[in-house]
Structure 1
Amino acid sequence: MVPVLSQPFSSSTSSLVTPNVGSVPMQLSSSSVHSLADFFLTASTSRLAENNVEVVREEGLQHARIKLDARQYKKLPFRERLLEILRKLQIRSWANPQIVPENIVVTKVSGALTNAVFFVSCSSAPSTQTLLLRVYGPSSGSLISRPRELHTLHILSSRYKIGPRVYGTFDNGRIEEYFDSVTLTSTDIRDPQISRWIGARMAELHSVDVQAVDGSSSNLENSGMEFVANVKSWLGAAEEVLQLPGISDATRQELDLPRFKNEWNRYVAWVLSRPRTFGTRRVFAHNDAQYGNILRLKDGSEGLDEHRQIIVVDFEYAAPNAAAFDIANHFIEWTADYHCPTPHLLNASRYPTAEERHNFYASYIRYSAMLAEDPGLDDSSLEEMITELDKDVLILGAASHGGWAIWGIVQAREDVEAGVTEPEFDYIGYAKGRMAAFRKDFQSFGL
């Protein structure tokens, strides 16, 4: 997804998207911070958030029946309630009775409609581990399933050591692991070595047991391409946004959702009619591997594997998908710069070259073979798989464009309803760009 300038991603923390999952982009710092859909909360939207956010719990995680008001984070009562939560969740280093609310340091990382994110530390007890505090916001209910996101995070971190550990939940948020890290930049992901590390990490994510993480049947209508369900579930909300008085007739005509639905259905039918390949196998995918969601640990790698210094965060949109979709979406994110004057516009000239894609594919395929304990991967087989995978990635890039185009329309609702003329992130402009890219790919396929 797309990160917001104020919170887009820094040190901690597509072509196919999954149903009721979530994603957006930019830079933050530590374990997970949202990205695209993040605008600072006003008092009124904050109040709405406090009242309407659902209580989300997960089996195997401690839960504290306490709410936090993110607007009050600078005040002592907030820290008192926060300390009560940390002790109820039995986070070891915070059990020290010498820790008092007055010495708790709460640093705001981002404040958005989806989440307010903070780093939590204690000045009087240096040995106390820094934590990431996430207070849920009011929006994105039509885009993100919080129960599913929490389940995904818990299983991936506890069983596969992927992503930030979730220490526990409270009535309108959760406590996560903090990574002493830096968020990658749009330049970093182009570095050949870092790109290989990302490929290896993606291969690890794609190797997990889909059903263990997702819990859904593998006998799905779309043979693993749940982006179809995602787009279908978002279209109704997108149509509502385009009917709002704040949307011009020219914008409605340019996006032309009736035309898109026809094109999308034809595209999906064509994709699903193609032979199944290594790239279209059903895996558990991140679906939003943009640079703001990828961290690099400051203290180097874990153990001997260099690629493990790369940490992927923000699993709002994670779900089963075609493997090539996750890669395609990542490559399209190479064309984004969420920290420039026009963060909503993609620059197609920055799409990875054939050589850069080959570099990524080789790492991804080698690690996939190693994790599958497949000894039969020789150089000839590798090159054949790279050629085949590249075809799938180029085809599924259109799915990323189409899915995020609809997502952008849905995300624009808050600004359109509020009559914002100069939004922090131009979601409608973003949707137009992604829609144009989808239609360009669609036409190139001869459909």
Structure 2
Amino acid sequence: MAPVLSPPVISPSLTNISRQHSSASSQNLTDLLVGAAGASSSSVQLPDGPVEPVKAEGLRHARVNLLARHYKLPEFASQFLKIASTLRIFAWDDERIKPEHVVVRRVSGALTNAVFFVSCKKSSKIPTLLLRVYGPSSGSLISRPRELHILHKLSSEYRLGPRVYGTFENGRVEEYFDSATLTAEDIRDSVISRWIGARMAEFHSVDVSVVSPPSDVSDSGTFEASVKKCVSSWMKSAHEVFAISTMPREAAQELDLARFEKEWSIYLKWVSKVEDKTTGSAIVFGHNDAQYGNLLRLTNSVETDEHRQIIVVDFEYAGPNPAAYDIANHFHEWCADYHGATPHLLDPSRYPTFTQRRNFYTSYITHSNSLVKGAQDPVFDASDLDQLVASLDYQVRVWSPSSHAKWAIWGIIQARDDIENNVVEPEFDYIGYAKGRMAAFRQEILELGVIQR
């Protein structure tokens, strides 16, 4: 089960917003997107090993290490209580709480992360916490300091995402909320899809310069699309995987990284000519991995705004990106079923129809507008809304291939351990996943006229 985060609440700078009617004739989509920002496997061994401490300014830090594999032992509970005391976590810093009162439930465990729910059987008034213990990681795909920075800024500045109570030498403690992970079918539900659209609009409304770390700023002083940075920075690691002697030759030939690099360059040049930063290519703060496993629904929601039942989790890949990229990536996730017979394959027949996309867009656009300073519950003229929807839909098509490209390279890198260890039947077929995403990338740039057959 994915980590459970607290329900986002719009920041004080985005409350008390006056309201007005809006029309596309006087307000383009960029205003809607960034106006508010301007205003303000049980079989896997649990991770243990040397980890560089990850800290963030403004967060308390405990100089304590936790051994994930010892989570059933009293000493683990004892060490956790030291952490809770140092971080001054409400109710948990009570000296009357003893190790025997602590209940630790393992939620997930992998080589790079172990997640636990920690509760106290002494009193139901003591809140359950989410405990994340880091394991050794190469850092070739994600940056823990960057992720922590984003989480802390989102929660402290905008009250979006989880509250991070603090860090310890090899992990962090987060807020827990009772919820259920959405399923592959849930995200296709028209009501839930509208909620997701509204949620995405909230994330896209934050000030990128506040949430993203300074490292996201390019030499020119602007925020570059993170999908471009990811593909560029990941290529070296992908080539290293191809250099492994046990890398399947047929797969290497099909993926053909040299060909991909040429295609990617041609594609980016094409994008620069057709992107429209007034409709969907404006750089916003994107989650960039809005798959159903990263979307939760509160079990006992008391939110007055229905869409706030949806909780967005896991920000490893979050960062500056065109709004249309984040939406395009989400639509591709409609085609995935990570719990089906072929979890590594996307089913293109499940891609949302225009009617389904319009349902999402309408919620996204109207909610974006409601976040703009001075906006009221938006009432769009039908033709104006149609124009905004059509423009955004085209920009989503423009950025759609880049989602395939990014995850194709990601899949190659993730396959490294399986390839090095000659795993014949991996738990997840990363190479098969990469091949599928690469084929989709090439098919889409062909259909868009970026390249000729």
TM-score of the alignment, normalized to the shorter chain, above 0.5: yes
Please give the residue correspondences for 1:11-410 in structure 2 after superposition, counting only pairs within 5 Å.
41-42=44-45, 46-47=47-48, 50-51=49-50, 53-216=51-214, 217=217, 224-274=224-274, 275-302=276-303, 304-373=304-373, 374=375, 377-410=380-413
Indicate conservation of the 8 Å contact 1:12/1:183, yes or no: no
SS in 2 for 1:143: coil
Q: State the number of aligned residues.
A: 410
Indicate conservation of the 8 Å contact 1:301/1:308, yes or no: no
Displacement of 1:301: 4.3
Supply the distance in 2 between the matched residues of 1:105 and 1:281 (Cα, whole angstroms).
Answer: 46
| Amino acid of the structure 1 residue aligned with 2:447 | S
Displacement of 1:170: 0.3
Displacement of 1:92: 1.3
Supply the distance in 2 between the matched residues of 1:371 and 1:219 (Cα, whole angstroms).
Answer: 31
Supply the distance in 2 between the matched residues of 1:213 and 1:40 (Cα, whole angstroms).
Answer: 36
Structure 1 unaligned regions, length at least 5: 1-6, 14-37
Supply the distance in 2 between the matched residues of 1:435 and 1:71 (Cα, whole angstroms).
Answer: 38
SS in 1 for 2:285: strand
Closer, same or farther: CA 184–329 of 1 in aligned 2, 3 Å: same
Supply the distance in 2 between the matched residues of 1:228 and 1:127 (Cα, whole angstroms).
Answer: 47
Aligned to 1:412: 415
| Amino acid of the structure 1 residue aligned with 2:154 | L
Indicate conservation of the 8 Å contact 2:4/2:313, yes or no: no
Supply the distance in 2 between the matched residues of 1:382 and 1:194 (Cα, whole angstroms).
Answer: 21
Supply the distance in 2 between the matched residues of 1:104 and 1:119 (Cα, whole angstroms).
Answer: 10
| Amino acid of the structure 2 residue aligned with 1:367 | H
| Amino acid of the structure 1 residue aligned with 2:390 | T
Deviations 1:252-274 (A, max 9, x none): 10000000000001001111222
After alignment, is 192-201 or 377-386 more displaced?
Answer: 377-386
Displacement of 1:221: 8.4
Displacement of 1:95: 1.8
Closer, same or farther: CA 150–444 of 1 in aligned 2, 3 Å: same
Indicate conservation of the 8 Å contact 1:40/1:113, yes or no: no
Indicate conservation of the 8 Å contact 1:402/1:434, yes or no: yes
Supply the distance in 1 between the matched residues of 2:298 and 2:131 (Cα, whole angstroms).
Answer: 19
Displacement of 1:39: 8.2
Supply the distance in 1 between the matched residues of 2:218 and 2:301 (Cα, whole angstroms).
Answer: 37
SS in 2 for 1:414: helix
Residue identity over aligned pairs, in percent, reads 56
SS in 2 for 1:94: coil
Displacement of 1:124: 1.6
SS in 2 for 1:329: helix
Structure 2 unaligned regions, length at least 5: 7-40
SS in 2 for 1:363: helix
SS in 1 for 2:246: coil
Deviations 1:40-71 (A, max 9, x none): 5437xx44xx21x2211011111001111111
**Rg: which structure is higher?**
2
Indicate conservation of the 8 Å contact 2:230/2:406, yes or no: yes
Indicate conservation of the 8 Å contact 1:224/1:281, yes or no: no
Displacement of 1:83: 0.9
Two-structure CA RMSD over aligned residues (Å) = 1.9
Supply the distance in 2 between the matched residues of 1:220 and 1:146 (Cα, whole angstroms).
Answer: 25
Matched, 1:429 2:432: yes
SS in 2 for 1:93: coil
Indicate conservation of the 8 Å contact 1:211/1:218, yes or no: no
Closer, same or farther: CA 378–218 of 1 in aligned 2, 3 Å: farther
Indicate conservation of the 8 Å contact 2:197/2:360, yes or no: yes
Indicate conservation of the 8 Å contact 1:222/1:228, yes or no: no
Supply the distance in 2 between the matched residues of 1:224 and 1:430 (Cα, whole angstroms).
Answer: 27
SS in 2 for 1:205: helix
Closer, same or farther: CA 182–158 of 1 in aligned 2, 3 Å: same
Deviations 1:204-231 (A, max 9, x none): 0000000000144488588642211110
Displacement of 1:308: 0.9
Supply the distance in 2 between the matched residues of 1:276 and 1:305 (Cα, whole angstroms).
Answer: 29
* TM-score for the superposition, normalised by structure 2: 0.87
